[in-house]
Amino acid sequence: MERREDLDSILPFLPLVLRSSSLFWPPKSLESLKALSLGPDVSRVDSGEVLFDAILDLRDSIGLSSEKLAAKSADGYVLFFDELMSRMDSRVWFGEVVPTLARLLLRLPSLLEDHYKKSDKVSGKGRFGLRIMDWQEAGVVLLSQELIATLLACALFCLFPTHDRDAKHLPLINFDRLFSTIQLSAKQSQEQKIKCLVHYFERICMHIPTGSVSFERKMLSLQNSSHGISYPGPADWENSNVSLCPFKVLPLGLIEDQQHDALEVDFANEYLGGGALHWGCVQEEIRFMINPELIIGMLFMASMRQNEAIEIVGVERFSQYMGYGSSFRFVGDYLDKKPFDSMGRRKTRIVAIDALYSPKMAQYGIDCILREANKAFCGFLDRSKYESVLKFSQASKASPEMVGSHRNSDDKCSSNVDLIENKKGGQSTESKESIGIATGNWGCGVFGGDPEVKSMIQWLAASQALRPFIHYYTFGEASLEGLKQVTQWILNHGWTVGELWNMLVEYSSKRLRRETNVGFLAWLLPDNRTNDVQLSNIRCLTIIFLWLVEVQCCSLGVKT
């Protein structure tokens, strides 16, 4: 295999070596993996304690002995596999799963070489190949589920080098920190997260999945350019005449269970995966446990900047769960019945967008509103559809209202992956159906955002991105009880993106000036807004009256 830029970028973060244009395991690790693949009768790996010793030997054989693992991670492997796992499950794990994972790891060099050859055939050299996806580098990585499973086995055995990952703004991906948390924490949720991952490995060892998963880094240009879509400014939002898309409120249910054709929002950390492999156990972390293939994006996706988002298409769900946070529990197997597209990807579409953390009162400032709206817009945007609509509007000199009306057209809603495939003359990866947005209280909860404001920001972004609908899961949030009434009122009055934006900015400025302390939904309804205006007028009249009294007293020489 000839030298190539994509492989060169990722190679320092893989446990393999490149020699004579071929990828290899170092000789010592090759022998260790071969022994491990023959089962416990040969490898003697039949407990968590011996498994961790084997992991240390493997790390030493690829030169990782100087890179320390998380404190107490050894105790975590022992605790989980020797005490928390049942005797029957332990027998299956060490007798069948570990040897199968070792055989997968032995195939990693050939799987990667095949990956690069196939990626060139699909899209031209380097377009889909595994590589570090750095800041401001829009593009796609397309991986087979088999390769993902093999790379995740590397993470389980802690075989990824960690040196320089910080310099590349990459999160850690080895599982040692996760195992260390079950030893250090009284939270059962950490044990339950590992149960989800162990279940995933058990499933893929029974049957290797044959589909594909795409990871796309999306970006809005920070420079005004004829190429790409630029980062909107306040005036762009203020003057938008795009109609607001239909808004459905769902008090019950979960985003991952939605049955419509929708882009599902991951309430992400700026580092993809957040605390999935550490302490975290909220929306993003839970999604990464029930869809473990998401984790592999942490290997090569650098943290997101303000104008970036990450879209992932094709991941399979393996686990059922209940609870949230400390109450999270793995409750069994899940058979994913989502259909596939022509590229072998499940039609599960997830977009990771990171909200501002703990913005407090600053979230009502125009800079924060703009940042959040553009972050969501970047994530929700379908570049190929959006550009085709813009070209149509320019060619026909259509009004912005007409551009917005294309939301319900038969134009397919495709990603950059689909765009490349179509240019090559392949079949469309989607039927002619538009894909909406399934979301909820993004940036709220532990991030501290205002749910009422965040719901409006996401509606603005989905509408401006020409999405056909937004389904909003409130998760029982008390402040959103009036969301259905208010959104229906707005839709009945035919508001545009610009009109809602201007009202949101007006409300936010009043919050900053302490002129109102009610939520946006209550403030927006006509009766409440009238009361708010009346109170404001009363304040002004009171100030004027007191000023006149003071002037009169001063003229009479009376002290006030």
What is the domain range of residue 321? 213-524
Residue 425 in this model has a pLDDT that exceeds 50? no
pLDDT single digits (tens) 537-546:
555 555 566 6
SS3 26: coil
pLDDT single digits (tens) 143-192:
999 999 999 999 999 999 999 999 999 999 999 999 999 976 667 999 99
Same domain, yes or no, for 342 and 237? yes
pLDDT single digits (tens) 502-547:
999 999 999 999 999 999 999 998 775 545 555 455 555 555 666 6
The predicted structure's pLDDT at residue 127: 86
Checking DSSP bridges between strand 319-322 and strand 329-333, what pairing results, if any? antiparallel
| Domain containing residue 448: CATH number | 3.40.220.10
End-to-end CA distance of the chain: 90
Residue 316 in this model has a pLDDT that exceeds 60? yes
Where among 156, 173, 208 does a domain terminate?
A: 208
The predicted structure's pLDDT at residue 236: 96
Same domain, yes or no, for 335 and 466? yes
Same domain, yes or no, for 228 and 290? yes
pLDDT (average), residues 94-98: 98
SS3 217: strand
Radius of gyration of the chain (CA): 27
pLDDT (average), residues 344-369: 98
pLDDT single digits (tens) 252-272:
999 999 999 999 999 999 999
- Please report, rounded to a whole number, the percentage of residues in the chain having pLDDT higher than 70: 84
Same domain, yes or no, for 182 and 276? no
The predicted structure's pLDDT at residue 265: 98
Same domain, yes or no, for 468 and 513? yes
Same domain, yes or no, for 3 and 128? yes
CA angle 424, 430, 431 (to 5 degrees): 120
| Rounded Cα–Cα distance for residues 305 and 113 (Å) | 31
| Rounded Cα–Cα distance for residues 276 and 253 (Å) | 22
The predicted structure's pLDDT at residue 36: 98
The residue type at 1: M
pLDDT (average), residues 13-25: 94
pLDDT, averaged across the chain: 89
Checking DSSP bridges between strand 212-219 and strand 139-144, what pairing results, if any? antiparallel
Comparing CA positions, the residue from 312, 449, 431 lying closest to residue 368 is 449
The predicted structure's pLDDT at residue 120: 87
pLDDT (average), residues 380-399: 72
Q: Answer yes or no: are the C-beta atoms of 370 and 504 closer than 8 Å.
A: no
Comparing CA positions, the residue from 246, 268, 245 lying closest to residue 255 is 268
pLDDT confidence band for 21 (50 / 70 / 90)? confident
The predicted structure's pLDDT at residue 73: 96
Give Dmax over CA atoms of the chain in angstroms.
Answer: 106
- Please report, rounded to a whole number, the percentage of residues in the chain having pLDDT higher than 90: 79
The predicted structure's pLDDT at residue 14: 98
The length of the chain in residues reads: 560
| Rounded Cα–Cα distance for residues 546 and 552 (Å) | 10
Listing DSSP states for 88-116 in one string gives: HHHHHIIIIIHHHHHHHHHTHHHHHHHHH
In the chain, the number of structural domains is: 3
Residue 412 in this model has a pLDDT that exceeds 80? no
pLDDT single digits (tens) 35-76:
999 999 999 999 999 999 999 999 999 999 889 999 999 999
DSSP bridge partners of 249: 472
Where among 208, 237, 254 does a domain terminate?
A: 208
Same domain, yes or no, for 61 and 82? yes
Integer CA distances (angstroms), 181 to 74, 185, 358, 372, in order: 11, 6, 25, 32
Where among 208, 238, 263 does a domain terminate?
A: 208
pLDDT (average), residues 373-379: 98
Same domain, yes or no, for 174 and 247? no
Same domain, yes or no, for 296 and 407? yes
| Rounded Cα–Cα distance for residues 297 and 148 (Å) | 9
The predicted structure's pLDDT at residue 402: 43
Q: Answer yes or no: are the C-beta atoms of 15 and 62 closer than 8 Å.
A: yes
Residue 226 in this model has a pLDDT that exceeds 70? no
Structure tokens at 343: 């590229």
The predicted structure's pLDDT at residue 536: 52
Same domain, yes or no, for 36 and 66? yes
Backbone dihedral angles phi then psi of residue 135, each to the nearest 5 degrees? -55, 140
Residue 426 in this model has a pLDDT that exceeds 50? no
Same domain, yes or no, for 377 and 402? yes
pLDDT single digits (tens) 99-153:
999 999 999 999 999 999 999 887 766 689 999 999 999 999 999 999 999 999 9
Integer CA distances (angstroms), 34 to 31, 96, 201, 217, in order: 5, 14, 19, 37
Ramachandran bin of 254, using left for φ above 0, alpha for ψ from -120 to 50, beta for the remaining angles:
beta
Residue 449 in this model has a pLDDT that exceeds 50? yes
Element (H, E) at 377: helix 366-380
Same domain, yes or no, for 202 and 247? no
Note the pTM of the prediction, 2 decimals. 0.90
